[in-house]
Every structure is written in structure tokens, then in C-alpha cells.
Amino acid sequence: MNSGPAEESITVPPGDGGRSIDDLLRTVSASRLTTFHQCRLRFWYRYLSGIVKPKPAALHLGSSVHETLKFWNRARWHRRSPSLRDLHDAFSGAWFELLKADPVAFEDEDGEKQTGWKLLETYFRESPIPGDERPEAVEVAVEADLTAHGLPKLVGVLDLVRPGGRIVDFKTSGKTPDAEQVAHTTEGQTTGYALLYREATGHTESGIEIHTLVKTKAPKLIITATPPATDTQVTRLFRGIESYVKGLEREDFVPSPGLQCASCEHFNECRRWS
């Protein structure tokens, strides 16, 4: 089986964009798992090839929104009630700092920034989270030892855990998501979060919420709530991780052409793959 593209023109030394297969087998994360099962060649490009692509504007917007929500969540933890002005300052600060660390080639930076802030305004207006609700955890790095199942360690970061063990993941999207589709397409991720929470707390989560901030002309907040992960979902996740391990071990990185290619950053390289 071919293990990568025949030729590459834009490469950087491994260590930044490029990781080793051994390293990627030591642990597994929801995002790596999702990318691997979406398209193994995209996985190769993203994690193994050493190719570094400029950060897309949408990703920068999402990261800045994410940082602002983290600021808000942490403020509530410390019993502070930031004003809209404070939140706007936090958003502007995050936008600037992230841009400094990872430049983005914008077509319309002001427009993107405005969109990001409108999303946040909508979120703060419509969020089901009360302004005085203290979180259980914020942006917390956790891991679950799966060696008893013959699998690598699962690692991840939980955006927010609400009181009572309600796990929240924040997303930004250009399209209004369908609730059932979100539940299906994020199942690996949400089940992973559930396992991570259980391992790190000794308790079962009370549910999982995906808070999707939609970048429509009039921004929307769509919340998809799912119950605690079932045994069947955990088994499906384990099967997915098994497949990830076996695929990496035999260096199986074939492309999976499909609708997802429209937004793939490695479309051009993929066209040259053989």
C-alpha cells in the first residue's frame, strides 16, 4: 500500500507539522480519529507529511470565539460577571494574540472579526448557561488509559463541564446543522469525551451538549443535547480506535474522495497522489 504522495513541493522538517507513526500510536485523540476515518490520506498530510498550511480564516475566527468563551467560563468560575465590553476586549485580545502566533491571509479581516463578535453576542444573549453558573471544569486536558483494552491512551480537552457532569463542546459552523446529523457525525468525539470524563472523575457524565454557533447572516445558536454515552457507542469508539491503530501500523493512507474534499486544505496535493 502506498504510504503517501509521490512528490511534495512544500515540506518542512518533521517536528512541527510532521510527527512520527510511533508518536501517533502512543496516544489517540478524537480529532485525529475523526480525520483518519474521514480520509486517511488527509490524515497523512496533516499529521505525518510535515506540510504546513496557512491557517484558514474560519479556523482563526473559531479559535478566537473559543478563547472568548473560555474567558467567560473562567470568569464565572471565579464568581466574576464580565460586562459585554470586557468580553469584547477578551475577543479582540484573543484575535490579536492568535494572529501574532499564527498569521492568516485574510480577504476581509474586519468582516471576519465582525462575524466572530456577532456570533458571541448571539451566544451571550441566547446561551442556556446562567451568568452565575459555576463550571465543574473549563478547557481541561484529560486522558483515559485504555491499555486494558489493548488500545493507546485516549487524550483530549473538554471545553466546559457544567455542574452535574454535563459536558459542553463549542463549535462554529457556516451552515445550520441538523440535530440528528450532528449527534451522528460527532459520536466518536462525544463518546471519547464521555470516557475521558469518567476516567478523570470516577463519575458518569449526565449528558453532552454541542453548542454550535452558526455564521448565518443573522447568527444562530443551535444546541444538540445527547444522553450519556451507551455501551454500544463505547464499543463503536473502541472499534474505531482499533482500526486507527491497525491502519497506522500498516501505513494505510489511501484517499477517500467525497463531499469533504471541497473543504480539504490538501486538495491539490491529493490530486497529484499516486
Partner 1 sequence: MVKLIANYAKRLGLPGYSSHQFSVSVETELQNVTDVAGESARLYESLQKAVDDQMQQTGFVPPDGYGMKEGEHRNGTPGERQQNGDAGISDKQLDLINRIVRENNANKSEIENIAVEMFGGGVRTLNRMQASNFIDELFAKYPRRNGSGNGNGRGNYQRQAART
Task: Point out which residues bind partner 1 (CB under 8 A).
Answer: 29-32, 77, 136-142, 155-158, 161, 197, 199-203
Contact predicate 160/73, CB 8 Å? yes
Nearest residue to 120 via CA among 90, 96, 163: 90
Query: CA-to-CA distance for 104 and 157, rounded, in angstroms?
Result: 24
Give the residue with the Cβ less far from partner 1, 144 or 221: 144
Query: CA-to-CA distance for 93 and 71, rounded, in angstroms?
Result: 11
∠ CA 150-156-162, nearest 5°, is 125
Query: CA-to-CA distance for 197 and 216, rounded, in angstroms?
Result: 32
CB of 35 to partner 1, least distance (A): 11
CB of 231 to partner 1, least distance (A): 19
CB of 195 to partner 1, least distance (A): 12
Query: CA-to-CA distance for 183 and 190, rounded, in angstroms?
Result: 8
Q: In the chain, which residue ranges form alpha helices assigned H by DSSP?
A: 21-26, 30-38, 40-43, 57-77, 84-101, 109-126, 179-185, 187-201, 231-249, 267-272
Q: β-strand 27-29 against 153-162: which pairing, if any?
A: parallel
CA dihedral 216, 221, 189, 187 (to 10 degrees): -90
Give the residue with the Cβ less far from partner 1, 43 or 117: 43
Contact predicate 28/241, CB 8 Å? yes
Give the residue with the Cβ less far from partner 1, 163 or 258: 163
Give the residue with the Cβ less far from partner 1, 90 or 270: 90
CB of 197 to partner 1, least distance (A): 7
CB of 134 to partner 1, least distance (A): 9
Give the residue with the Cβ less far from partner 1, 35 or 115: 35
CB of 17 to partner 1, least distance (A): 13
CB of 258 to partner 1, least distance (A): 24
Give the residue with the Cβ less far from partner 1, 84 or 141: 141
CB of 39 to partner 1, least distance (A): 18
Query: CA-to-CA distance for 220 and 119, rounded, in angstroms?
Result: 7
C-alpha cell at 235: 464499543
